Amino acid sequence: MQKKSYEMDMCTGSLWSKILLFSIPLMLSGILQLLFNAADIVVVGRYAGSTSLAAVGSTSSLINLLTNLFIGLSIGSNVLIARYYGAKNLEATHKTLHTSILFSLISGCILTVIGITLANPLLTLMGTPGDVLHLSALYMRIYFLGMPAMMLYNFGSAILRGIGDTKRPLYFLTISGAVNVVLNLCFVIIFQMNVAGVALATVISQCISAGLIVRSLMKQQGACHLEIHDLHIDKEQLLKMIEVGLPAGIQGAIFSISNVLIQSSINSFGSIAMAGNTAASNIESFIYISMNSIYQTALSFTSQNLGAKKYHRINRILVICLGIVMIIGMTMGWTTLCFGTKLLGIYSADPEVIHFGLIRLSIICTTYFLCGTMDVVVGSLRGLGYSIMPMLVSLIGACGLRIVWIFTIFKWHRSLETLYISYPITWMITFIAHLICYFVIYKKKIQPAMIQEKAVSSHYI
């Protein structure tokens, strides 16, 4: 019996159907992961109180700040694997795979040391309230013990996306996430471990998902077959990975700095406002992760088609992905707002927490599609091999303006509404700037390649 193939050729056939086949499992994976992460928040909020809820929520921006740089490098793996797969370059695919896996483990160990060592001083620097600080630091230290597994899963998933496989990561998350929920309930409710129990459950589930990823790559046939004894750092492929992934990682890290500043500003309104913001942010994450799956789709499809020299498909990939992400963002955003009170009530029964959560949802959810369109254009640019340009545009257009907003507009009019409105304004400005960059690059790089391709075809005819 022929073994089932999870790979996808993104360079032939209908783009609409293949984009949907690729993005839906990716979207479900993200939503599933968030559901299991939400279980952390819900269990803590319901069984440990609003102080513990605020403690878990106050670490998210800081965790993202420390991890985004390395997670961004996994985008380099995705782009290179997809490009080599499209070009049928088996040797380069094999080298990139083993370089990526080893690098993920090294980066995970580095993050573990950083997170455990700097948890307390960084949380203090953020202005985390005294009644929350101890629990936040404890949660963060335990959470960072699982960084090697987290990095391994992220890089492994990026490799599978590069060859068109988004189904197996969905299966793996289902298994590890179910374990996470069960352990949450056991550790927090039965053993009364509070935030330490939630963090420990997360670490164990991350180890399970990383193990399943490694197992699948070891069983994979062809160039993406993982051989433990072949693990080594190939300098050429690492540099190419860094060329694409480092700007993406820096962008993610700088974005997190602006979010840390916003979190610090939210902290100044007290632990109840922090709890409301935590619950609302967690709900919004379901919209973001759904839209982000289209960003990942644009990235992978553009990379594979560039590698296969199917230049005529690249524009259509962007247009289709933009249309899909706008539908997702608008539909999910407004639906979330309509059921906002009930959704926030899942996280906390405190009316004040729900009130503060609704303030955020009313501004972010109605405009979140702008963030999705911005990210999709970035995905296309990175798929084309351009990573520094979207990084610079994002840093100036989103992060820079957001930081300026905090120290000017927010300083003059201190309210949560003023703080949150900075998001849609910076999304819109940055989307327009990215779109201009895309058209310039397309005209400079893709159009001449298409003309040359047609000229070669005409010559042979």
The pLDDT tens digits for 74-88 are 989 999 999 998 888
CB 199 within 8 A of CB 142: yes
pLDDT at residue number 460:
43
CB 102 within 8 A of CB 230: no
Residue 166: alpha-carbon gap to chain centroid: 15
**Mean pLDDT over all residues of the chain?**
88
Cα torsion 175, 178, 27, 211: sign = negative
- pLDDT of 449 over the 90 cut: no
Q: Summarize the confidence of residues 430-454 as an average pLDDT.
A: 87
pLDDT at residue number 54:
78
pLDDT at residue number 456:
55
Q: Summarize the confidence of residues 288-298 as an average pLDDT.
A: 93
pLDDT band at 461 (very low <50, low <70, confident <90, very high): very low
- Per residue in 132-179, pLDDT tens? 888 999 999 999 999 999 999 999 999 999 998 989 988 998 899 889
Q: Summarize the confidence of residues 50-55 as an average pLDDT.
A: 78
- pLDDT of 189 over the 90 cut: no
- pLDDT of 287 over the 60 cut: yes
CB 265 within 8 A of CB 406: yes
- Per residue in 85-128, pLDDT tens? 888 898 999 999 999 999 999 999 999 999 999 999 988 987 88
Nearest-angstrom CA–CA distance, 118 and 133: 13
- Per residue in 4-41, pLDDT tens? 567 788 888 889 999 999 999 989 988 887 777 777 77
Residue 91: alpha-carbon gap to chain centroid: 29
For the ranges 62-66, 105-109, 349-353, 387-391, the one whose mean pLDDT is highest: 105-109
Q: How many CB atoms lie within 10 A of CB 459?
A: 7
Please give the structure tokens belonging to residue 254.
């700088």
- pLDDT of 459 over the 60 cut: no
| Percent residues over pLDDT 90 in the chain | 49
